[in-house]
Amino acid sequence: MKKVLLLILVASFLLCSVANAGVRLRGKGIYDVHNKISFVNGPAEQILDNKLKVTALFPITGHTFSKDLGIKPDNPGCDVYYFRVSGITHADNVFGVKGVSLKLENLTDNVLVIYWKDSVIQMGNTSGIPFLPGMKYIDAGKPSDTPNTVIPPRTFVTTDLYPAAKVKYSNSWGWNILVEPINTKGTSQILVAMKVEENGASKYYSFKTPYMNFPAAFLAEYKSDK
């Protein structure tokens, strides 16, 4: 009787493990389907202290070799989307988010300055100083080389933000920004904590994006087990 119960428990564990493995996608144009990742409820905007309006325009997406992320997508408990490259290596690529594009609008009659070197972007398990367009890859994560964003009164600017910790160099592909995998359970968000200065006084503001995922209709089309 004990052996029967043990077999049932093992079988249940294996079934759960299979169900909790990563979701494999396949189909035409698989390398570009990361562009389908979007905010579940569309772009989000938030007015902070009646001074700064922040709008998350869209997630910046891509895919990264799973080995570069230390991930085995078909392992139990791995909640990621991925695709497998055919050939001898059978390399797995994980879909995810590299950063976010923001619109920052100054609602005041004063100049606002955002000090990114004193700010934080958090995506999944990655958190730290932002990396901005125009910076050299080699300077990622260096406060002294991280620029500020100056927003004149009653105007707006747009900028892309990436976690500096995701900027990596490899002998095989050079400099690149690795993705943070989006969670198949739809719990992936980006948090940005910004240090904003107005008239010499500084204050921290936090902004969180909507959840990100593939549209349900797209998943139905590209799931490998359809």
User: What was the pLDDT predicted at 85?
Assistant: 84
How far is the CA of 107 from the CAs of 46, 49, 53, 110, in angstroms?
A: 12, 10, 7, 9
User: What was the pLDDT predicted at 120?
Assistant: 98
Q: Which long-range contacts (CB under 8 A, 24 or more apart) does 144-151 make?
A: 144/117, 146/116, 146/117, 147/116, 148/113, 148/114, 148/115, 148/116, 148/117, 149/104, 149/113, 149/114, 149/116, 150/111, 150/112, 150/113, 151/52, 151/104, 151/105, 151/106, 151/111, 151/112, 151/113, 151/114
Instruction: Kindly tell me the burial class for residue 133, based on how many C-beta atoms sit within 10 Å of its own C-beta (0-12, 13-18, 19 or more).
Output: exposed
Indicate the pairing of strand 148-151 with strand 126-128.
unpaired
Domain boundaries, the chain: 20-222
User: What was the pLDDT predicted at 1?
Assistant: 52
The count of other CB atoms within 10 Å of the CB of residue 154 is 11
Q: 5: which 2 tokens? A: 């119960």
Given a contact cutoff of 8 angstroms between Cβ atoms, the answer to whether 65 and 83 are in contact is no
What is the chain's pLDDT, residue by residue, as a tens digit (226 residues)? Answer: 545 444 444 444 343 444 568 999 999 999 999 999 999 987 789 999 999 999 999 999 999 999 999 999 989 989 999 999 876 667 899 999 999 999 999 999 999 999 999 999 999 989 999 999 999 999 999 999 999 999 999 999 999 999 999 999 987 779 999 999 999 998 999 999 999 999 999 999 999 999 999 999 999 889 866 4
User: What was the pLDDT predicted at 41?
Assistant: 84
3-class DSSP state for residue 143?
helix
Residue type, 188: S
Cα torsion 129, 191, 63, 20: sign: positive
In whole angstroms, what is the distance from residue 19 CA to residue 94 CA?
Answer: 18
